[in-house]
Structure 1
C-alpha cells in the first residue's frame, strides 16, 4: 500500500481540489484568499504560499518556467503520482482552545479496554490451542471459549467507539 504524503491544507485545496497548474505566485495567492479567509493580509499569504512553493520545487513536485513576475509553476508527474492528503492545520493561539484534558479520560479508558481485549484474545488462543491438543476436553472448554469470544466482541466494540470519538474530537482540521 502506498504511503500518503501530507501537504498543507491550503496547498491541498488549491493544487488537488481546485487542480491549479501553470500558476504564478500571485494567482495562487489570490486563489487562496478567495478559498480561505485565514490570511486576510495578501502580503502574508503570498509569503506563506511562496515558502510552500519553494519546498514543493525542492521536492521535485513543482517545476518552474520563466523569470520574475512571469514565472509559472507546473505540477510534475512525481507530484501527480503521490497519494496526497492534507495536514491538520494548527489552531491559532487566538482561537478558542478546546480543553483536551477533559478528554484524556477517554484515551485512558480506551487503553484499559485495549489491554483487557489483549488478555481475552490470549485466552481465546489458549482455549483453541487446548481444544486442538486435547480434543476430549472440547465439551468442557467450548462454553468458556464462547464466553471469551463474547467478552472480546464487547471489548472490541468499546475500543472502536472510543477510538472513533477520540478521532472525531482530535481531528478537527481547520478547514478553509
Structure 2
C-alpha cells in the first residue's frame, strides 16, 4: 500500500517536518512561518493562511488538536498518520504574498517585531509571577480560602510556564534571524 500524499507549502513543510516541532500552537507556527519566509505577508492574511493549513491537516488526520474549543491554549500534535504521509512541497508562490524589495529590510523588520513581542512576553511573565506570589501571600493571610487561592495560584504558574516557553521560542527565532 502506498503512502498517502498531501500538497504543502515549502516553508510550512520545513517547519512541521522538524522533529523538535511538535505540540505547537497556531501562534508558534505562524511566528516560525513569518520568520522563515523570504517574502512579507500581511500578518492577518498570514495568520488566516496558517490556520487554514493547520485545519486542513487536522481534517486529514495528520495533526491532532489538543485543548478545549474556543480556548487560547489549543495545541497541535503530529499523529501517526503524519509520519506515514508523503508531503508534496509546493513552490512558495502558491501562497498569497507581496514581494519585498530586499531581504535585509524584511529581516530587520522581523527582528523588530520579534524584539517587541519578546518585551511584551517578558512583561506578561513578570505580571504572572507577581500574581502567583500574591496568591501565596493571600493564602498565608487567609488559609480558609485555600481551595480557591490554590486553583488561582496553579493557573498563574501554568501561565508563567507557557510564557517562558513563548520567550524561549522567540529568543530562538531571534538568534536565528540575527545570524
Sort the TM-score into its range (normalised by shorter chain). Answer: 0.3 to 0.5
Give TM-score, length-normalised by structure 2: 0.46
